[in-house]
C-alpha cells in the first residue's frame, strides 16, 4: 500500500488532483493550493476553515483529504464572478459584517449554505446556523444584519469556475504543519 | 508516513484493523483529525468509514427497535422521521453548529467515550445496546456497560468496530434531555437524560435520570416519583457518590452543586413537553 495518497476532486469547478499523506486535513491541502481558507483552532471549534463539500458546510480541519475524492469543494474563491462579488459577500461588505476578517470565509460560506436551503430565515435561524463560527471582533450583530440583508439578493451556491473549465491543478502536500 | 484507506464494508474495516495495529478509525473526523494534527495521536493508517454505506443507515425493526448505524451523523438524527424526539433534541443542541451536525457521528462519539459528549448519557437513558464487529465476531454490549472510563470503551485500542446502536421501543415512557454549558462553543458541564414511566396499575409515575458529562462515565439514579424536588435529587445523587470531573470548564464541587438542578429540568421536560409522546 502506497503511503502517498492521490486525491482528485472538483475545486470551485476545476478538476484538481493532490498528493498528500493520509492524515492531512483538507484545510491544509486547500491552503497549499492557495485557497482562501484560514486555520484557527485545528480542533473543529472556530469554524474559520469552513468550506462547502457537496454544498454542505464542513470544518475542513476535520476532513481527511482523501474523503474529498470525487466530491465538489467550494471555497470563498469560488463565490465571486470575476470582479462581481457574490450577493452574500456584497452584503457583508456593505453592512460591516467583518472587522479583522479572520472568520469571514467561514461565516460567508455558512450563510451561502443557509440561504440556499432557507432563502428567508429569521434572525434566530441565522444565529442558529452560524453558531459553529466564532468571531472575536464584531459581537455578531453586523454578521446577522449582513445575512438578513442578503436574504433576497442571494443567488444559488453553484459556484463559477475560478480557473478555466477543464483546467487541472496538480499539487503535492508533503507535511502537516502542527499547532 | 501515514496512509489512507476508505473501505466499503465492515468486514474490510475489521480485516484492516486486525492486520494494522497502528491504524486509526476515522468516523466523522471530529475527534481523530485534531488529535492527528496535533500529533497527540500518530497512526500508520487512517481508515475512513465514509464509504461504508451500511453504517450510515437508520431503520426501525417490526418490534419498534430503532437501528442507528455507527456512521450516522447528527443531521440524520434531526431529519429522519424514525428517530425519537430525545435523540433529535440532543442532536439539535450539540456544540459546533451545522458543520458538526453534518460531520460528527454517533458511533464516533460512542466509541471515543469523551465524558463531555452529549450522546453517552442519552444512550444509557434510552437503554441502548451497542453492536460491535471484531475478529472474533459480533458482540452486543448494553450502553450502561459500554462506557468503561473516560475515553475508554470496548473498542479502545482493539481491532473492533462499533457497527450499530439499537434503541428499544419506548413503551409509553417519556424522555427529557437538558444540559448546562457556559458558552455556545463550550462542552457541557452536566447533562441529564430523564425517563419517566407511568404505571396504570398503580396510577403512579416513576423513572430515572442519567447524569453525564459530570463524571468519567454516565450514572443513573432511580426516581421515587415523577416530580422529585431538587433536594430529593441532591440526596439521591449523593448516594451514588460520583467521582466528579474537575477541569478547566468547571470544578468538581460546582458540578456536584448543579447536577441536581439540571436533573430536575430534564425531568420537568420529560413530564411536560408536548412533543414528547
Distances (CA, A) of B46 to A105, A106, B15, B202: 28, 26, 14, 55
Pairwise CA distance, residues B95 & B86, whole Å: 16
Q: Cα dist. A50→A26, A110, A113 in Å? A: 10, 7, 11
Partners of residue A23 in chain B, C-beta under 8 Å:
2, 4, 33, 36-37, 43, 46
* pLDDT tens-digit series, residues B33-92: 999 999 999 999 999 999 999 999 999 999 999 999 999 999 999 999 999 889 999 999
Give the pLDDT score at A30.
98
Region of poorest pLDDT, from A5-19, A110-124, B68-82, B200-214: B200-214
A57/B100 CB distance under 8 A: no
Give which of B69, B95, B108 is closest to B191, Cα–Cα. B95
Distance (Å, rounded) from C-alpha B277 to C-alpha B266? 15
> Which of the four pLDDT bands, split at 50, 70 and 90, describes residue A116?
very high
Q: Is the pLDDT of residue A134 over 50?
A: yes
CA separation for the pair A27, B242 (Å, rounded)? 40
Cβ–Cβ < 8 Å for B243, B216: yes
**What is each CA distance from A35 to A50, A161, B185, B233, in whole angstroms?**
12, 13, 26, 54
* Nearest-by-Cβ selection for A61 from B3, B26, B33: B33
pLDDT at A173: 62
Give the pLDDT mean for B192-205.
86
Q: How many CB pairs under 8 A join A and B?
A: 108
Residue A177 has pLDDT above 50, yes or no: no
Beta strands in chain A (DSSP E): 5-11, 14-20, 50-53, 56-59, 72-74, 169-172
Cα distances from B112 to residues B53, B55, B116, B150, in angstroms, run 21, 17, 11, 9
Average pLDDT, chain A: 88
Strand order across the A14-20 sheet: A56-59, A50-53, A72-74, A5-11, A14-20, A169-172
- The average pLDDT across B11-26 equals 96
Of the candidates B211, B213, B267, the one whose C-alpha atom is nearest the C-alpha of residue B237 is B211
| Residue B257: its H or E element | helix B252-272
Q: How far apart are CA A155 and CA A158, in angstroms?
A: 8
Look at residue B112 in the predicted model and tell me its pLDDT.
97
Q: Give me the interface pTM, i.e. the ipTM.
A: 0.93
CA–CA min distance A65, chain B (Å): 9
The neighbour count for residue B64, using CB atoms within 10 Å, is 11
Q: Which residues contact A161 (CB under 8 A, 6 or more apart)?
A: A12, A13, A14, A78, A167
Quickly state the pLDDT bin for B214 (edges 50, 70, 90).
very high
Mutate to test the interface with B, among A6, A22, A39, A52 (most CBs of B within 10 A): A22
Which tens digits make up the pLDDT trace of A65-105?
Answer: 999 999 999 999 999 999 999 999 999 999 999 999 999 99
Q: pLDDT at position B85, please?
A: 85
Tell me the per-residue pLDDT of B144-165, one tens digit each, with 9 for 90 and over.
Answer: 999 999 999 999 999 999 999 9
Whether pLDDT at A167 is above 80: no
Cβ contacts (< 8 Å) between B103 and chain A: which residues? Answer: 44, 58-59, 62-63
pLDDT tops 60 at residue B132: yes
Highest mean pLDDT among B12-16, B204-208, B237-241: B12-16
Percent of chain B scored above 70 by pLDDT? 98
Decide the pairing of beta strands B3-5 and B23-26. unpaired
**Please, which pLDDT band fits residue A49 given cuts at 50, 70 and 90?**
very high
What pLDDT score was predicted for residue A23? 95
Residue of B149, B121, B145, B133 whose CA lies nearest to B49: B133
Q: Does A133 touch chain B (CB under 8 A)?
A: yes
Q: What is the pLDDT of residue B220?
A: 97
Q: How many Å apart are CA B19 and CA B9, to the nearest integer?
A: 16
As given in the structure block, the three cell numbers for residue A42 are 485545528
Residues 6+ apart with CB under 8 A from B213: B115, B116, B117, B118, B121, B179, B187, B188, B189, B190, B191, B245
Annotate A28-57 with three-state secondary structure.
HHHHHCCCCCCCCCCCCCCCCCEEEECCEE
DSSP B199: E
d(CA B192, CA B197): 16
**Measured distance CA(A22)–CA(A44) in Å, rounded:** 19
Cβ contact A43–B34 (<8 Å):
yes
Q: With 70 as the cut, is the pLDDT of residue B25 above it? A: yes
Residue B26 pLDDT greater than 60, yes or no: yes
Residue of A41, A132, A173 best to disrupt the B interface, most CBs of B under 10 A:
A132
The CB density around residue B5, as the number of other CB atoms within 10 Å, is 18
Q: Using pLDDT thresholds of 50, 70 and 90, give the confidence band for residue B185.
A: confident
A110 touches chain B (CB under 8 A): yes
Q: Is the pLDDT of residue A166 over 60?
A: no
| Local confidence band at A171 (pLDDT 50, 70, 90 cut-offs) | low
Q: Which of A88, A22, A65, A11 is nearest to B16 (CA)?
A: A22
Write down how long chain A is. 179
C-alpha A179/C-alpha B14 separation (Å) is 32
Q: Which of B47, B51, B97 best tests the A interface by mutation, with the highest count of A CBs <10 A? A: B97
Burial tier of B200 (Cβ tally within 10 Å: 0-12, 13-18, 19+): exposed
Average pLDDT over residues B95-112: 97
Task: Give yes or no for residue A48 having a pLDDT over 80.
Answer: yes
Task: Report pLDDT for A172.
Answer: 62
Looking at residue B277, its pLDDT comes to 45
Amino acid at each position: 500500500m502506497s503511503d502517498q495518497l492521490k486525491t482528485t476532486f472538483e475545486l470551485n469547478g476545476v478538476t484538481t488532483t493532490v498528493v498528500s499523506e493520509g492524515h492531512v486535513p483538507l484545510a491544509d491541502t486547500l491552503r497549499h493550493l492557495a485557497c482562501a481558507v484560514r486555520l484557527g483552532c485545528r480542533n473543529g471549534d472556530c469554524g474559520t476553515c469552513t468550506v462547502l463539500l457537496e454544498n454542505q458546510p464542513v470544518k475542513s480541519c476535520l476532513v481527511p483529504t482523501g474523503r474529498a475524492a470525487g466530491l465538489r469543494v467550494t471555497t470563498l474563491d469560488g463565490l465571486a464572478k470575476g470582479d462581481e462579488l457574490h450577493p452574500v459577500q456584497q452584503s457583508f461588505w456593505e453592512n460591516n459584517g467583518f472587522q479583522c476578517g479572520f472568520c469571514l470565509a467561514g461565516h460567508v460560506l455558512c450563510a451561502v449554505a443557509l440561504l440556499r436551503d432557507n432563502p428567508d430565515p429569521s434572525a434566530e435561524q441565522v444565529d442558529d446556523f452560524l453558531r459553529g463560527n466564532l468571531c472575536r471582533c464584531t459581537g455578531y450583530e453586523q454578521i446577522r444584519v449582513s445575512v438578513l440583508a442578503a436574504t433576497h439578493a442571494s443567488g444559488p451556491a453553484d459556484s463559477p469556475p475560478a480557473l478555466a473549465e477543464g483546467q487541472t491543478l496538480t499539487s503535492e502536500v508533503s507535511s502537516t504543519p502542527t499547532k | 508516513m501515514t496512509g489512507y484507506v476508505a473501505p466499503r464494508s465492515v468486514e474490510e474495516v475489521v480485516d484492516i484493523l486486525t492486520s494494522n495495529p497502528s491504524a486509526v478509525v476515522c468516523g466523522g473526523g471530529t475527534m481523530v483529525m485534531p488529535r492527528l494534527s496535533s500529533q497527540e495521536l500518530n497512526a500508520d493508517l487512517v481508515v475512513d468509514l465514509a464509504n461504508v454505506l451500511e453504517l450510515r443507515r437508520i431503520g426501525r425493526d417490526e418490534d419498534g427497535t430503532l437501528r442507528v448505524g455507527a456512521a450516522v451523523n447528527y443531521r440524520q438524527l434531526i431529519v429522519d422521521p424514525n428517530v425519537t424526539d430525545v435523540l433529535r433534541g440532543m442532536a439539535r443542541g450539540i456544540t459546533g453548529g451545522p458543520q458538526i451536525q453534518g460531520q460528527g457521528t454517533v458511533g464516533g462519539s460512542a466509541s471515543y467515550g469523551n465524558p463531555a459528549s452529549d450522546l453517552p448519557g442519552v444512550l444509557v437513558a434510552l437503554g441502548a445496546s451497542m453492536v460491535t464487529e471484531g475478529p472474533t465476531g459480533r458482540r452486543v454490549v448494553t450502553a450502561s456497560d459500554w462506557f468503561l472510563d473516560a475515553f475508554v470503551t470496548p473498542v479502545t485500542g482493539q481491532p473492533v468496530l462499533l457497527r450499530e446502536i439499537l434503541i428499544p421501543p419506548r413503551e409509553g415512557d417519556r424522555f427529557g434531555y437538558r444540559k448546562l454549558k457556559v458558552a455556545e462553543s463550550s462542552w457541557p458541564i452536566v447533562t441529564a437524560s430523564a425517563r419517566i414511566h407511568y404505571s396504570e396499575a398503580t396510577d403512579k409515575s416513576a423513572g430515572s435520570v442519567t447524569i453525564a458529562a459530570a463524571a468519567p462515565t454516565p450514572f443513573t439514579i432511580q426516581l421515587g416519583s415523577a416530580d422529585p424536588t431538587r433536594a430529593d435529587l441532591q440526596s439521591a445523587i449523593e448516594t451514588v457518590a460520583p467521582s466528579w470531573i474537575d477541569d478547566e470548564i468547571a470544578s468538581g464541587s460546582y458540578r456536584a452543586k448543579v447536577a441536581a438542578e439540571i436533573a430536575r429540568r430534564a425531568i420537568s421536560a420529560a413530564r411536560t413537553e408536548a412533543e414528547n409522546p
